[in-house]
Amino acid sequence: MTAVCIRSVGAYAPAFRIEAEEIAEVWGRFEARNIESKAVPDADEDALTMAASACRRALEAAEIDGNDVEWLGFATTTPPLAEEELTPRLASMLGISERAHLQTFTGSTRAGTRAIHSAPSACTALVVASDCPRGEPDDARGHAAGAGAAAFVLDPNGAGSVVEHSEYAAPYPGTRFRRTGSNHIEGIDVTKYERQAFTETLSKAAEAVTADGVTAAAVQAPDGSRPYRAASTLGVERTTIHECATVHELGDTGAASVPLSLARAIDDGHETVLAAAFGSGAGADVLRIEVNGAIPCDCSLTGDRTLTYSASLRQQGEITSSGLDTGAAYVSIPSWQRSLPQRHRLVAGRCPDCGALTFPPEGACSGCQMLVEYDPIELWGPGTIETVTEIEQGGAPPEFAAQQARSGSFGVAIIRFERAGERVSLPGQLIEAAAVGDRVVPVIRRVYTQEGIPRYGTKFIPEIR
């Protein structure tokens, strides 16, 4: 069987952080061992938006676009909807062909490694693991719960190869689970039982994988101590695990835990990496990855926006009363679906007669005023703010009330794009403060929820974060 090869890597973590000391000050304790801080999603971020950001970084690092991807795998334990195939929406956000093969992996924190191992080796594939688990605010899982995403472009010419893979499963129910209808992960809290499930399952999977020469080990990290307990059973040193661990600053990132640490190891130049993922139930995957050459990476995981504890609860919707569904600004699902290229990728129209740009690409040309069949052109990339205003409390349209209750006031701007000598301007919501003349770049975020369905679109952040 031909090895799966890694061509490029992209990783993403939310900009917001909360320090362990901040949580300890409120509760009198911090129960997530050896975690110094954790990443907190913005009010309009979820597993799908983080996946889109990580994938964009991986595609740009590989210098390809979505149309080159033939297979897309999306791994998460926290899908925004319990039942709906979300991978087609991710494909739309990335411009991946509707004829590409799409697969979703969920239900276990080993979903990320399952997706990597399941990817075909003979075509260009894109795999992303993205997760934002939640726990009760006063327990160890809630204290540990973080967020992040890692994506890998895979194709036969990639410089990194999955040269060995093994898996093992044994029935260990209750070590980690999320009940139907709940947003919070739980466990039976029998420490000896949970540790046995973790170490035994990983140990059995590791028996068929060579650990010689490994310089970094990406190991499942529900907290900052558990991965190190598996060091001897995996045949590696504790320092080898610490070499690429992301749990200490991002927290428990669920299905993205091992992919994020693997991304860091590759970005740091390690040539032989062990990836060991555990999923409660229980099952494990152990992969040996060998790198022979340069793998382009965009794996910035820094967070520069510190939250207080109360702000983190508000941002996650734990203490806000605003509903997510509204009847305001109603746009039917068929109408919304027809405009997805504009909302997901900023697809404008170029006039075939005069070359002028029009956004959205409908009606008369903004240049020659003729009714034409526009040539599609993506505006995705930097733009310049022409005008900006701040929407304060009570000033937002009702559909944005939930976002404003969670994250406060936000900016709205008119943004100018220049492509091939032509200009076009469009309105957009700002995620961070920016002024006239500033350069901003698009990102995918949740816009609002209507009829129970999350709707996603483009917002903007400053070009340099």
End-to-end CA distance of the chain: give it in Å, rounded.
43
Is a pLDDT exceeding 90 seen at residue 318?
Answer: no
- The whole-angstrom separation of Cα 354 and Cα 420 is 12
Is a pLDDT exceeding 80 seen at residue 2?
Answer: no
pLDDT of residue 400: 65
Cis peptide preceding 282, ω within 30 of 0: yes
pLDDT of residue 398: 56
CATH architecture type of domain 5-315 = 3-Layer(aba) Sandwich (3.40)
pLDDT of residue 324: 44
The vertex-331 CA angle with 327 and 334, nearest 5°, equals 135
pLDDT mean over 6-34: 95
For the chain, the domains span 5-315, 333-462
Burial class (CB in 10 A: 0-12, 13-18, 19+), 144: buried
**Strand partners of residue 285:** 167, 277
Q: Largest alpha-carbon pair distance within the chain?
A: 74
Q: What percent of the chain has pLDDT over 70?
A: 94
- The whole-angstrom separation of Cα 165 and Cα 287 is 4
User: Would you place residue 448 in the very low, low, confident or very high pLDDT band (cuts 50, 70, 90)?
Assistant: confident
* CB of 417 closer than 8 Å to CB of 383: yes
SS3 category, 197: helix
pLDDT mean over 165-181: 93
pLDDT mean over 455-460: 96
- The whole-angstrom separation of Cα 223 and Cα 114 is 21
Is a pLDDT exceeding 80 seen at residue 413?
Answer: yes
pLDDT of residue 395: 55
Q: Which two tokens stand for residue 67?
A: 């149309």
pLDDT of residue 202: 96
Per this entry, what is the length of the chain? 465
Mean pLDDT of the chain: 92
Is a pLDDT exceeding 50 seen at residue 308?
Answer: yes
